[in-house]
Amino acid sequence: MAQPALQTTEPNPLTALSLSDLRSRTSAKWRKYDPDVLPLWVAEMDVALAEPIREELARAVSSGDMGYASGADYTESLAQFAEQRWGWNVSPGQMSTVTDVITGYVDIIVMMTEPGSQVVVNPPVYPPFFSYLKAADRRITDAPLGADLRLDFDSLEEAFRTATADGKPAAYLLCSPHNPTGVAHTRAELERVAALADQYGVTVVVDEIHAPIVFNDAEFVPYLSVNGGERGFSIMAASKAWNLAGIPAAIVVGGSAVQAEVARYAASTHHGPTHFGTIAQTAAYRHGGPWLDALLEGLDANRRLLGTLVEEHLAGAAYAIPQATYLTWIDCTGLELGADPAAHFLEHARVALNSGPTFGAGGAGHVRLNIATHPEIITEAVRRMGASTHRG
C-alpha cells in the first residue's frame, strides 16, 4: 500500500517566476522559438530549483567538489524514497547507476535482445522510444493504446505474439506513467502485462521517470512490485519531478529474478551519471518531498484549469485530465486543423506545442501541452489557440 503524500506548507513553485524571469533562461524550452512564442512543449518545468538541491549543488561548487560520481548515496536515497512514497521495499543492491533514462533502457534492451529483435511499444508514446531503438538496430512492434488511452491487452498480446514469432528474444518498453497521455497504470493492468510477458517470454523494461508525479486520484505502482514483475527492469530518475534535465543521472533497477543480469550490466562498459547529477538527485529524494508536494498541488490546479480553458476556447477539442505527469494530450481532430495541429498553433497562435504525429500511431490530429508553468501562461496560450481557430 502506498504511503500518503508528505504534507507541505511551501508555496506553489509554478507561480514563483514571471514570464520575464523565464525569458532570461538559455535552455531549449526558452531559446528554440522567437520571443513572442509561448513555449509549452519540451518537458522542462518553469520553476526555480528546490532549495535542498540548490544548497547541495552550491556546496559542491564552493568546495570544488567537481570529480566523478561515487558511493551508494544515490541508490540508497531512491530506496528510501520508494519506501516512503510507494511502500515499495527495494534494495540498493538491485540497482546500477547510468547516465540517463534513455541510455538505461536502450542498454538493457540491447543486453537482453539481439540485433534485429523486436521491441513492443504502446503508441502514442514518447518519440525517443522509436528513434533510439531503431538506432540500436531493434525493430519496433506497435501495440497501440485503446480508445480510452489505456493499455489494450488484445493489441498487446498480438504484438507479443508477433515479436516472438521469429524465435529471437523480444522486449517490451513500457512507459509508466504514460507519456503523453498521463495515464497511471493500475496494479491489475501491470499484473496482466507481467503474465503476458511470462507467457510469451518477453523482457519487460519500464521507463518510470515520471513516477513521482502522480495525482491524488490515482496511484503509482512500481512495475517490479507486482506479481510477475520480478523478471522485469525499471529505469528511474528524479530529473523530471525536480527539473534536473541539465544534470542527468538515472538508476537501473532489476527485479529479484534478474539480479545476475543487473550485476552483468553493472560490470559492463557503459556511461555512468555525472557527479552533479547524483548530488542533485540524492538531495531531491532525501529532502525534496515538501517541494514536490507543493508542485503537485500546483500541477493539480493547472490540469483542471486546462480542462476549463479547453471547454471555453477550443470547443471541438477533447482533453482527458491526466492522472500523472505534467504533460497533457489534446485531441484536436474536431478542430479540423490537419494531421499536425501544433504547426497551426505555432504559426497562427504563436504557441509552441509538441507535434502529435511524432508520438506514432494515434498521434495525428493531437498535440502535447506542458502544464508545468505559471497558470497565467497556460491561460494566455489557450486563449491564443482558440482565437487562431476562428480567424477569418
Amino acid at 333: T
Using CA atoms, how far apart are residues 231 and 198, in angstroms rounded to an integer? 8
Domains recognised in the chain with CATH numbers: 13-50+289-388 (3.90.1150.10), 52-287 (3.40.640.10)
Amino acid making up residue 175? C
CA 345 vs. chain centroid, Å, equals 24
367 to 113, 214, 288, 316, 337: CA distances (angstroms) = 33, 21, 31, 14, 11
* Torsion sign over Cα 39, 173, 141, 320: negative
The count of other CB atoms within 10 Å of the CB of residue 147 is 8
Q: Are 100 and 237 in contact (CB under 8 A)?
A: yes
pLDDT digits (tens, 9 = 90+) for 140-185: 999 999 999 999 999 999 999 999 999 999 999 999 999 999 999 9
pLDDT tens digits along 311-368: 999 999 999 999 999 999 999 999 999 999 999 999 999 999 999 999 999 999 999 9
Instruction: Look at residues 276, 277, 279 and name the one whose alpha carbon lies nearest to residue 287.
Output: 279
State the CB neighbour count (10 A cutoff) for residue 379: 17
Q: What is the pLDDT of residue 343?
A: 98
Q: Which residues contact 313 (CB under 8 A, 6 or more apart)?
A: 382, 383, 385, 386, 387
pLDDT, tens digit, for every residue of 48-90? Answer: 999 999 999 999 999 999 999 999 999 999 999 999 999 999 9
Q: For the stretch 161-190, what's the b/e string if a residue is b when 16 or more beta carbons lie within 10 angstroms of its beta carbon? A: ebbbeeeeebbbbbbbbbbbbbbbbbeebb
| This prediction's pTM | 0.96
Handedness of CA 237, 47, 42, 342 (dihedral sign): positive
* pLDDT tens digits, 209-246: 999 999 999 999 999 999 999 999 999 999 999 999 99
More confident: 147 or 271:
147
Pairing mode, strands 202-207 and 233-236: parallel
220 touches 86 (CB < 8 A): yes
